[in-house]
């Protein structure tokens, strides 16, 4: 967990007035004393070391009451003063509460293990405290065979001057005495680096190998591009692509033409224009006589994609259909039949697409939108409906650079960094609840100008009922505050068709103000809406706030976002809100999110592909990850895979790194 420097301690007998001292010992007693002067406090402590008892005082730090208790082992560093009363004492020293070693018994026989050096501090395991663990680890290390198997290839070890595995293990636990404490606590010592590198290298090697095996698969069909296809793509394009879009499209088309199936992630901020890129890829597949499945996470989004795509393909010879869970059963049956017979070239749908009854004649490309909304299984199931189809997954939740190599380590990644021209940055403001009325009058003015607005309410599950009431009440209040404007309400508890009816009315402009719970989070496109008000913004996650805000800023009008928050604000909530207000860049936001939440929580379950690492830390060690990846690739490309490495990978790589088979 960390290390403590117990090598340079003085004895309390050596304390000199006006000198700095580093001492340690056991807290004998401590107490907080309020003095007569108002607002002034003294925290006093008696500490015992081998030479005797000495006094420590802290001025105006009453919280220390919660830090120190009698019996604790503490290290102190600070100035010694002669004062009356009390005599010689340590005043306002820096302090460290040392691990609670006492409970594990006597030390005398183990001098040098727990003191007089940099000592490791371990996380408690059950009833085993750090001292017992330290003793066990020391014992085990002393039994290490002289020759320890080392999986890191010697060439790599030499290139980075990494110690042997044996040396690394010994020194990672018990650092040599000259090692700077910051270095070991930052996990940057050469011994630690070697262990971290080894873990990351094996991880990348396994990923790379998996990918190599997959690249050996071949598609049963060949996709080609010619001028006729280029012309047909040009014909459907309603605007010029941004350079970013062109680049992404080029990478995708290159994949399509390759003999092995594509596995590509297309990421790009909300509104950057991923749909058209996917559609052009779809066009290439269709021109090659293949069917395309386009899967979206909600009915609404599927419908929106369907309408967009049908409009764009109106003048083409391709047949577009939509398949969702709703609607008339007869119609669904006939759509399913048309997919199976090959009459339908492109089908847009929800997870209804992965039902057993849906069979394709020649599925060649699966496009999966907002992929984080789908489980791994659904993706895999869709893929299995074709013979080695190409797969393109899209997400507007950018993966921080730091995680891209790991979370999607076995996907190729294309990133759209530009927004389409003419977009104006959304103006975002934080507003305390007490000033909500200002926000309402602001909204009213925008409505009067002919724009539309969203007011979003969080719906936290535990208090769903009361929140729903709040959202409903809010809709009523707003309706009365804004006479002459239509106010609509959508929430997750509504029947889907009712919700869709209201959303459609909002999209058509007959509803001006939409009060919503977060059901509108993903993908809706209403360019005339230019205000997003988020109530209880402190309750939303960072990515969610960014997604919600992304609902506006899609048209030619200046757009606004108002984040209404309630006090008191916790520290992370404050950091989140500040981050959203400060930047519109989804990637920057994703990095901040990662810092605030950590990789595991950010990407969810094991399925998401975040490896479970033992010594490495994705945030701390991302440069090492880059190096490890480079070296792993080199081994794979040079055919330098050894028997030993293969054995290591086969011995539970997936188990070790917590990977479920990703679709
Ligand atoms: P997202 O990447 O969030 O899915 P969309 O594909 O829905 O974004 O695109 C957002 C909006 O931007 C759509 O209205 C789309 O028509 C428009 N758009 C996309 N690319 C361009 C472009 N190159 N020029 C102008 N408008 C574009
Ligand atoms: Mg989209």
Compute the distance between CA of residue 49 and CA of residue 10 in angstroms, rounded to an integer.
10
Ligand 1 atom at shortest distance from the alpha carbon of 270: 3
Ligand 1 atom at shortest distance from the alpha carbon of 554: 11
Highest mean pLDDT among 169-183, 273-287, 323-337, 640-654: 273-287
Least confident of 31-40, 218-227, 432-441, 509-518: 31-40
At residue 519, does pLDDT exceed 70?
Answer: no
Task: Give residue-wise pLDDT tens across range 232-244.
Answer: 999 999 999 999 9
| Average pLDDT score over residue span 514-538 | 82
Task: Give residue-wise pLDDT tens across range 607-647.
Answer: 444 567 788 887 788 889 889 999 999 999 988 888 888 88
Ligand 1 atom at shortest distance from the alpha carbon of 277: 6
pLDDT of residue 570: 83
Ligand 1 atom at shortest distance from the alpha carbon of 272: 2
Contact residues of ligand 1, CB 6 A cut-off: 239, 241-242, 245, 268, 270-276, 396, 420, 525, 554
Output 350 or 405, whichever has higher pLDDT.
350
Output 364 or 409, whichever has higher pLDDT.
364
- 272 C-alpha to ligand 1 centroid (Å): 6
- 525 C-alpha to ligand 2 centroid (Å): 9
At residue 223, does pLDDT exceed 50?
Answer: yes
Phi, psi of 40 (to 5 degrees): -110, 135
Compute the distance between CA of residue 583 and CA of residue 604 in angstroms, rounded to an integer.
24
Say which residues have a Cβ less than 8 Å from residue 87's Cβ, sequence separation at least 6.
Answer: 55
Compute the distance between CA of residue 610 and CA of residue 201 in angstroms, rounded to an integer.
15
Residue 156 pLDDT class (50, 70, 90 cuts)? very high
pLDDT of residue 500: 78
- 526 C-alpha to ligand 1 centroid (Å): 12
Look at the alpha carbons of 195, 196, 202, 203 in this order and tell me if their dihedral is positive or negative: positive
Which of 241, 270, 276, 424 should be mutated for ligand 1, with most atoms under 8 A from CB?
276
Nearest residue by C-alpha to atom 10 in ligand 1: 271
pLDDT of residue 396: 77
pLDDT of residue 606: 39
Ligand 1 atom at shortest distance from the alpha carbon of 369: 4
- 205 C-alpha to ligand 2 centroid (Å): 33
Nearest residue by C-alpha to atom 17 in ligand 1: 273
| Average pLDDT score over residue span 575-592 | 87
Output 591 or 305, whichever has higher pLDDT.
305
Which helix (H) or strand (E) segment is 76 a member of?
A: strand 73-83
Compute the distance between CA of residue 392 and CA of residue 149 in angstroms, rounded to an integer.
42
First to last CA, the chain: 35
Least confident of 369-373, 474-478, 549-553: 369-373
At residue 108, does pLDDT exceed 50?
Answer: no
User: According to DSSP H, which parts of 556-642 are helical?
Assistant: 571-582, 586-597, 599-603, 622-637
Output 268 or 521, whichever has higher pLDDT.
268
636 and 628 in contact (C-beta within 8 Å)? no
Q: What is the pTM of this model?
A: 0.68
At residue 521, does pLDDT exceed 80?
Answer: no
- 417 C-alpha to ligand 1 centroid (Å): 13
Nearest residue by C-alpha to atom 16 in ligand 1: 273
At residue 464, does pLDDT exceed 70?
Answer: no
Ligand with the closest atom to the CA of 298: 2
Task: Give residue-wise pLDDT tens across range 117-137.
Answer: 788 988 888 888 877 898 899
pLDDT of residue 601: 59
pLDDT of residue 89: 93
- 254 C-alpha to ligand 1 centroid (Å): 22
At residue 30, does pLDDT exceed 90?
Answer: yes
| Average pLDDT score over residue span 297-308 | 83
- 276 C-alpha to ligand 1 centroid (Å): 7
Compute the distance between CA of residue 639 and CA of residue 630 in angstroms, rounded to an integer.
14
At residue 495, does pLDDT exceed 90?
Answer: no
Ligand 1 atom at shortest distance from the alpha carbon of 274: 2
| Average pLDDT score over residue span 209-233 | 89
Q: For all residues of the chain together, what is the average pLDDT?
A: 85
CA angle 17, 18, 23 (to 5 degrees): 70
| Average pLDDT score over residue span 190-196 | 96
Taking Cα atoms as reference points, which of 464, 409, 354, 462 lies closest to residue 654?
409
pLDDT of residue 410: 67
Residue with tokens 């993706």: 379
Residue with tokens 């539309």: 452
DSSP 177-240: TTS-HHHHHTT-SHHHHHHHHHHHHHHHHHHHHHHHHHHT---SS-----HHHHHHHHHH-SSP
Compute the distance between CA of residue 172 and CA of residue 186 in angstroms, rounded to an integer.
12
Percent residues over pLDDT 70 in the chain: 88
At residue 402, does pLDDT exceed 80?
Answer: no
> 3-class DSSP state for residue 1?
coil
Q: What is the DSSP letter of 351?
A: G
At residue 278, does pLDDT exceed 70?
Answer: yes
- 271 C-alpha to ligand 1 centroid (Å): 5
Taking Cα atoms as reference points, which of 523, 529, 490, 533 lies closest to residue 509?
529
Residue 109 pLDDT class (50, 70, 90 cuts)? very low
Residue with tokens 């008696």: 46
Output 197 or 65, whichever has higher pLDDT.
197
Output 471 or 201, whichever has higher pLDDT.
201
Which helix (H) or strand (E) segment is 46 a member of?
A: strand 41-49
Compute the distance between CA of residue 184 and CA of residue 2 in angstroms, rounded to an integer.
8
Q: Exposed/middle/buried for 475, CB within 10 Å: 0-12, 13-18, 19+?
A: buried
């Amino acid at each position: 967990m960390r290390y403590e420097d117990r090598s340079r301690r003085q004895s309390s007998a050596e304390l000199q007035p006006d000198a700095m001292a580093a001492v340690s010992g056991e807290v004998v007693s401590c107490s907080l004393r309020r003095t007569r002067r108002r607002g002034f406090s003294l925290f006093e402590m008696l500490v015992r070391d081998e030479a005797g008892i000495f006094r420590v005082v802290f001025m105006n730090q009453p919280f220390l009451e919660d830090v120190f208790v009698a019996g604790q082992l503490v290290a102190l560093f600070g100035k010694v003063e002669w004062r009356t009363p009390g005599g010689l004492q340590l005043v306002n020293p820096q302090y460290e509460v040392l691990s609670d070693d006492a409970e594990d018994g006597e030390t005398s026989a183990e001098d040098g293990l727990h003191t007089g050096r940099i000592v490791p501090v371990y996380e408690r395991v059950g009833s085993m405290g750090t001292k017992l663990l330290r003793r066990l680890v020391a014992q085990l290390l002393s039994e290490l065979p002289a020759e320890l198997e080392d999986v890191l290839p010697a060439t790599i070890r030499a290139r980075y001057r990494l110690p042997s595995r044996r040396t690394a293990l010994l020194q990672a636990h018990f650092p040599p005495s000259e090692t700077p404490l910051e270095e070991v606590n930052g996990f940057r010592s050469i011994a630690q680096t070697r262990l971290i590198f080894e873990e990351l290298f094996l991880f990348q090697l396994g990923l790379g190998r998996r990918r190599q095996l997959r690249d050996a698969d071949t598609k049963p069909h060949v996709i080609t591009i010619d001028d006729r296809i280029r012309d047909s793509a040009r014909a459907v394009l309603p605007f010029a692509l941004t350079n970013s879009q062109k680049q992404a499209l080029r990478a995708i088309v290159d994949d399509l033409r390759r003999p092995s199936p594509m596995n590509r992630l297309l990421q790009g901020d909300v509104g950057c224009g991923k749909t058209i890129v996917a559609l052009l890829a779809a066009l290439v597949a269709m021109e090659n006589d293949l069917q395309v499945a386009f899967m979206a996470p909600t009915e609404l989004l599927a419908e929106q994609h369907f309408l967009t795509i049908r409009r764009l393909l109106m003048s083409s010879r391709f047949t577009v259909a939509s398949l969702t869970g709703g609607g008339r059963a007869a119609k669904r049956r006939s759509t399913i039949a048309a997919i199976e017979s090959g009459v339908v070239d492109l089908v847009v749908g929800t997870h209804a697409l992965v039902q057993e009854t849906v069979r394709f004649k020649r599925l060649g490309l699966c496009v999966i939108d907002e992929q984080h909304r789908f489980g791994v299984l659904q993706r895999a199931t869709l893929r299995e409906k074709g013979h080695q189809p190409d797969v393109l997954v899209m997400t507007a939740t950018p993966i921080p650079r730091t995680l891209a190599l790991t979370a999607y380590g076995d996907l190729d990644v294309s990133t759209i960094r530009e927004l389409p021209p003419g977009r104006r940055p959304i103006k975002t403001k934080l507003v305390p609840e007490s000033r909500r009325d200002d926000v309402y009058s602001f909204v009213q003015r925008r409505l009067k100008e002919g724009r539309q607005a969203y007011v979003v309410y969080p719906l936290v599950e535990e208090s769903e009922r009361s929140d729903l009431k709040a959202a409903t009440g809010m809709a009523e209040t707003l309706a009365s505050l804004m006479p002459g404007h239509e106010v609509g309400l959508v929430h997750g508890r509504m029947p889907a068709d009712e919700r869709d009816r209201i959303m459609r009315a909002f999209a058509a402009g007959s509803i001006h103000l939409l009060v919503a719970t977060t059901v509108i989070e993903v993908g809706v496109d209403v360019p005339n809406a230019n205000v997003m008000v988020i109530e209880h913004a402190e309750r939303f996650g960072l990515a969610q706030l960014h997604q919600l805000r992304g609902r506006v800023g899609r048209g030619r009008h200046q757009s606004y976002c108002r984040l209404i928050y309630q006090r008191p604000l916790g520290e992370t909530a404050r950091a989140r809100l500040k981050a959203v207000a400060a930047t519109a860049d989804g990637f920057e936001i994703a990095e901040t999110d990662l810092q605030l939440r950590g990789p595991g929580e950010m990407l969810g379950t094991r399925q998401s592909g975040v490896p479970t690492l033992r010594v490495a830390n994705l945030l701390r060690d991302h440069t090492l990850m880059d190096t490890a990846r480079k070296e792993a690739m080199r081994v794979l490309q040079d055919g330098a895979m050894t028997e030993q490495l293969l054995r290591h990978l086969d011995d539970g790589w997936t188990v070790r790194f917590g990977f479920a088979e990703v679709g």
